[in-house]
């Protein structure tokens, strides 16, 4: 059995980031402010036990055991209550719940890394800023159903489908016209931007994330690449535009 790992500050910071400083099981905050200092309210838990008891070995005999129980892939932050429960109530279901959470966060981190390597036309900032001030009462609405959205979002993702359809119906003509004007005067190369969006989607999709996580990852990529100079909802509107424009998501088979 491997020895206990000496956790470095950078290693611990990565664990904090992946759970957004909240217990992934109960959502309790993992920090509190006390006398001007941040106090840790978490413990570093092993997904597969570091030193499993004979009972745990029997219970987890059919799961995939990690080569190194001290690896980043086998560690996760939990609040003390959830950590205690996890250690004392080991079941295959509880193990798989934590294992799947960790795998999802690893895929999300990899997707974000892949996306960050894709360049983005910085001139997109102009349209993001326009979206912040546009009067929605003056927008021309689509007179047709956004067919591409219907064909590309899985039926079980009804909330995502509804959100994207709403953005498309309300903002698609405005975004399309604005992109066209910027392209005509040479302030933005739309074809290049569309290829960058498509490449970002492909890099993220490779991680096998569900559609709602892919959508959020592309939104985060645009938000970060444009130095967070605007509201996140503007990035969602742009991604919805490219769903309808067919750079994001493939037709559901």
pLDDT tier, 1 (very low <50, low <70, confident <90, very high otherwise): very low
What integer best gives the mean pLDDT of the chain?
Answer: 90
Say yes or no to pLDDT of 183 above 50: yes
pTM for this one?
Answer: 0.81
Sequence length of the chain is 253
Report the share of the chain in percent with pLDDT over 70. Answer: 95
pLDDT of 202-214, one tens digit each?
A: 999 999 999 999 9
Say yes or no to pLDDT of 187 above 90: no
Give dist(CA 42, CA 1) in Å, integer.
25
Give dist(CA 47, CA 156) in Å, integer.
30
Report the share of the chain in percent with pLDDT over 90. Answer: 70
Q: What is the pLDDT of residue 36?
A: 83
pLDDT tier, 144 (very low <50, low <70, confident <90, very high otherwise): low
pLDDT of 57-112, one tens digit each?
A: 999 999 988 999 999 999 999 999 999 998 888 899 999 999 999 999 999 999 99
Looking at residues 172-190, what average pLDDT do you find?
Answer: 92
Inter-CA distances, 190 with 79, 101, 127, 194, 207, Å: 47, 37, 12, 6, 27
Q: What is the pLDDT of residue 2?
A: 46
Q: What is the pLDDT of residue 135?
A: 84
Looking at residues 225-233, what average pLDDT do you find?
Answer: 86
Give dist(CA 80, CA 74) in Å, integer.
17
Question: Measuring CA to CA, which residue among 149, 124, 134, 130 is closest to residue 241?
Answer: 149
pLDDT tier, 138 (very low <50, low <70, confident <90, very high otherwise): confident
Q: What is the DSSP letter of 117?
A: T
213, containing H or E segment = helix 211-225
Question: Reduced to 3 states, what is the DSSP secondary structure of residue 225?
Answer: helix
Burial class (CB in 10 A: 0-12, 13-18, 19+), 37: exposed
194 contacts 242 by C-beta, under 8 angstroms:
yes
Question: Reduced to 3 states, what is the DSSP secondary structure of residue 58?
Answer: helix
Q: What is the pLDDT of residue 35?
A: 84
218 contacts 115 by C-beta, under 8 angstroms:
yes
Say yes or no to pLDDT of 4 above 70: no
38, containing H or E segment = strand 37-40
């Amino acid at each position: 059995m491997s020895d206990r790992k000496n956790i470095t500050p950078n290693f611990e910071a990565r664990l904090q980031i992946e759970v957004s400083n909240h217990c992934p099981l109960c959502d309790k905050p993992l920090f509190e402010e006390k006398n001007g200092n941040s106090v840790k309210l978490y413990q570093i838990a092993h997904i597969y036990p570091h030193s499993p008891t004979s009972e745990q070995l029997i219970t987890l005999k059919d799961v995939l055991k990690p080569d190194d129980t001290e690896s980043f892939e086998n560690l996760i932050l939990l609040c003390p209550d959830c950590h205690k429960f996890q250690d004392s109530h080991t079941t295959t279901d509880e193990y798989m719940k934590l294992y799947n959470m960790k795998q999802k966060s690893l895929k999300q981190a990899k997707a974000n890394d892949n996306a960050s390597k894709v360049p983005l036309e910085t001139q997109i900032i102009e349209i993001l800023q326009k979206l912040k001030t546009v009067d929605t009462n003056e927008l021309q609405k689509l007179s047709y159903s956004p067919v591409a959205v219907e064909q590309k979002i899985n039926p079980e993702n009804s909330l995502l489908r509804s959100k994207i359809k709403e953005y498309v119906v309300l903002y698609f003509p405005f975004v399309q016209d604005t992109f066209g004007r910027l392209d005509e005067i040479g302030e933005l190369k739309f074809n290049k931007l569309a290829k960058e969006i498509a490449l970002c989607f492909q890099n993220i999709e490779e991680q096998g994330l569900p559609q709602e996580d892919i959508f959020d990852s592309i939104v985060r990529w645009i938000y970060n690449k444009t130095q967070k100079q605007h509201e996140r909802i503007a990035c969602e509107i742009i991604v919805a535009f490219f769903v309808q424009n067919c750079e994001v998501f493939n037709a559901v088979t």
